[in-house]
Amino acid sequence: AQKITQTQPGMFVQEKEAVTLDCTYDTSDPSYGLFWYKQPSSGEMIFLIYQGSYDQQNATEGRYSLNFQKARKSANLVISASQLGDSAMYFCAMVRPSNTGKLIFGQGTTLQVKP
Amino acid sequence: GAGVSQSPSNKVTEKGKDVELRCDPISGHTALYWYRQSLGQGLEFLIYFQGNSAPDKSGLPSDRFSAERTGGSVSTLTIQRTQQEDSAVYLCASSLVFSSGSASGTDTQYFGPGTRLTVL
């Protein structure tokens, strides 16, 4: 079965510090894509970062980086220099080209940044 | 350019009524998806459209749910005879293309602000 697991329901981080949000996935497909989305209290899902299964390097987008460990099937999101505006729910998701592109989401992690 | 838009942003209806939710994808995006987000079920895939291909309806929870996409652009999700368990946020997303052969960044789905449906 295809599955995304986020084991941290809630996380706290001090402003300006780095934080890692965990994500593990399960698929037997050789080709897949991994995504992280941010959902603030307003409810909109905001795309943060993408990692393809064949990508040789870890993806980075500004303060966001993805620690991709293929053998361990993990795709952790690292947020550097946390800001108060980073407080939100974060979802890890996977797409498999063999499965019409629908996203499979994890349960989400609520991140609270403390001033 | 404009992002994905959805209307209405909020919809309150009585049990048994029909509702229509609208999604306007990003211009030029060929793939369109509907998801549902509820407290108990998390984020669930509902239906997917890609160009002129037959839609993937495998996520629709019952035959009360249907969707169409006219002219390859705007999509409407219809829920007939609404039930209280249909209360949720309905999210629409679009992507540039869907790569059936190999995962690609062009698969990135961009979401609209959602429609919050409340069935009384």
Q: Which pLDDT tens digit goes with each residue over A14-36?
A: 999 999 999 999 999 888 999 99
Confidence at B53, pLDDT banded by 50, 70, 90: confident
Confidence at B44, pLDDT banded by 50, 70, 90: very high
CB–CB contact A100 B109 (8 Å): no
Find chain B residues with C-beta within 8 A of A47's C-beta. Answer: 108-111
Q: Is the CB of residue A82 less than 8 Å from the CB of residue A18?
A: yes
Task: Tell me whether strands B88-95 and A109-114 are parallel, antiparallel or unpaired.
Answer: unpaired
CB–CB contact B33 A101 (8 Å): yes
Other C-beta atoms closer than 10 Å to the C-beta of A9 total 9
How much is the pLDDT for B69?
A: 93
CB–CB contact A102 B33 (8 Å): yes
Query: In percent, how much of chain B has pLDDT > 90?
Result: 70
pLDDT digits (tens, 9 = 90+) for A38-88: 999 999 999 999 999 999 899 999 999 999 999 999 999 999 999 999 999
And the tokens for B57? 């309806």
The backbone torsions φ and ψ at residue B86, rounded to the nearest 5 degrees and listed phi first, read -80, -10
User: A102 or B20: which carries more pLDDT confidence?
Assistant: B20
Least confident span in A16-20, A97-101, B50-54, B107-111: A97-101
Nearest residue, CB atoms, B103 vs list A33, A43, A46: A33
Output b/e per residue, B83-92; b: 16+ Cβ within 10 A: eeebbbbbbb
